[in-house]
Structure 1
Amino acid sequence: MKTFDYLLAESPEQAAAAATEPTTRFIAGGTNLLDLMKLQVETPARLVDVSRLDLAQIVERDDGGLTIGAMVPNSDLAADPRVISRYPVLSRALLAGATGQLRNKASTGGNLLQRTRCYYFYDVATPCNKRDPGSGCSAIGGVNRILAVLGTSDQCIATHPSDMAVAMRALDATVVTVNADGGSNRIAIGDFHRLPGETPHIDTVLEQGELITHVELPAPPAGRQAYRKVRDRASYAFALVSVAGVVDVQDGRIASAALAFGGLAHKPWRDTAVEAALIGQAPTASVFNAAADALVAEARGFGDNDFKIPLARRTLAAALHELTGVE
C-alpha cells in the first residue's frame, strides 16, 4: 500500500470540498477500498474519512417512505423493523451479501459505490480497461464465468457486485448527494450507475468530490416482495444471478411489477419489457416464460458465462412463482 494523506471530515460539505482532486477518495467502512489499495488497484494520494459524519440515521418520510443516511451500516439497515416490514426485499438482499462482520462495517453509500469483482480488474499484471483505460479487456476471451451477459460493450463485461443496489433499483430509490460547491443533487437509482460503453472506468454519474449523503425510499409498494440469489456457495459469494421483485396481483391478474437483476450487467439491471410482459396478465408459467424471453432477448455470453442466460430465465421464473403464489 502506498502512502497517502488523511483527513477526518467534520461535515459533508467539508468532505466534498476536500475531494476535488481525482487522486482523492472517500472512505467509510473501507470494506472494498482497502482491499483495492492493498493490491494497488487504487492508489489515492488522499483519503477523506466520512465515517464520523452524522449520516447514520433512518428517518420516516411524510409519504410513508424512509430516508437512509449514507453511513447506516448494512447490518443496521437489514435489521431495522421498518425495513423488515415495509421493504423485506431490501432486508433480504442485504442479508444475502458478504458476512456478518462485513455488514457491520459496510455503509449504505459505500455499498452503492463498490467496484466489480472481475478477476482481471484485481490483477494489476493484466490488461483491464476499467482499471487502466485503453489497455484492453482480458475477460473477453479469458476467464469470464462470473461476468456480464447484458449491457456489455467491446471494452468491458464486468458486473456490479451489490445485492443492496439491486433491491434499491426495484424499489425506485433516490440517491441524494452534496457536491464540492455545497449544492445538493437527487439522482434516481436507475440513472446512478452506468453501463460500460466506451468508458468502463467510470462506474457512476457522480462528479469528482460528490458525496452520497442519503438514500430515499418512496412509500412501500403494493404486493409481495422477494429477493432470490443464485451463487456458488451459501455465504460470502457474489451473485451469478439475482432477482429483486415486487409484484402485485389483483383479481387474478398482475396489476404491477418491478423486477431488478444482479449478476448480469455492469449495473443493477431493470428492463421495462420484462415488466410489460407481466402486467395485465394472469400469473401462469407461459406468462413467466414470456417475461424471461424479454429478459434475455439481447443477452450475449462470452464462453464461460454462457450458462448465465438459461440460469437467468430459471431464476426469474422461480422468483415469479414466489411473488405471485403460483405453484
Structure 2
Amino acid sequence: MSKFKALLVSEGAAGEFTRQVVERDVSELPAGELLIRVQYSSLNYKDALSASGNRGVTKNFPHTPGIDAAGVVAESSVAEFSPGDEVIVTGYDLGMNTAGGFGQYIRIPAAWAIKRPQGLSLREAMVLGTAGLTAALCIDNLERAGLDAAAGPVLVTGATGGVGSIAVTLLASLGYQVAASTGKADQADFLKQLGASQIVERSALQEGVERPLLKEQWAGAVDTVGGDILFNVVKSLQYGASVACCGLTAGTSFKASVMPFILRGVNLLGVDSVELPLVDKASMWDRLSVQWKLNNLERLVHEVTLEQLPAAIEQILAGKLVGRVLVRLD
C-alpha cells in the first residue's frame, strides 16, 4: 500500500510545466484524518488549469490535481469513518493545493468527505462529480427563486461541457423545456439526445452587448461561461426570472447595466460548490441519488486511465471535450 500511481505536474527550470504518471509513496501525502484509496475521479476545467500551472488554482508544484475523488477509506483516525467505508470528496482544497484525485490515494480532513449515498455507485458519483453537483445546485437555486416548468424555456450556456451537459439532462428529466447553447454546431444531435428541445448558436448570445436590454426569452438560465454572454442572458430573461452563474470560460468580467434589474426585476444568482458546507453538499448528493437520480449518465461519459489523462487535459484546454471525462484509477 505504500506505493501508488499519480499524475504529477512539475515545473521546469524555464517555467514550463510537464505532466507525467509517476510512482509516489503514501508518506508523501499531507496530514489528514482519512486515507482513501481512490477508485474514480473526473476531469474538470479547474483541474486542467491546475495541470497547466495556473497559480490562481495551485500555488506550489510539483502537484497532483483532481478536485473530485470517490473511493474506499483505507485508514481513519476518527469515529465517523471506518476502513471500508465508501466516500465521495469534492471541492474544498482537494486538487488545488492538497494532492488530489488524480492519484490512487489521497489523505484529507474527515470534514471533506461524505459517505456514498445508497442510490449512487462510486462510478456514478464521479460521472456527476463537481460538475453534476454544481448543475444540481444551479437548478435548486433557480427553483428556490421561483422557476416553474410552465413559464417557458430554460437556457443552458456551454451546454456540451461538464456542468452544461448535466444541467441539460437534469432539467429535461424534471420536465423543463431546455434551450441548449453551444459553439459546437456538430453536437446538436448529442444535446437533443440529452433532452434539449432547442439549440442556440453561441454567436447569437454574443450579439447586442452594447444594448441595455434584449428581447425577453428565457424563463431561467444556467450559465457556465460568464463574460458578456452572461450579461446578455441577464438582459434577455423574462420579467422576474433568474440566471444561475457558475463558470468563467468566456471571461471573468462583463459590461453591465442596472436596467434589467430595475425594469424587469431579474436575478443573478451566484453558485459555488467548492466551499459549500458539507451538510448542504450531502443533502444535494442525497437528492441526486433519489429524487433527481439520472439513469442515462453513460451517454455523457468518456472514460480514461491515468496514462490517458494528459491527452484529455489538452483537449479540455482546447475546448474540444464534450460531456464528462471519468478517470479510472485501477
- Normalised by the size of structure 1, how large is the TM-score? 0.26
- Normalised by the size of structure 2, how large is the TM-score? 0.26
Structure that is richer in strand per residue: 2
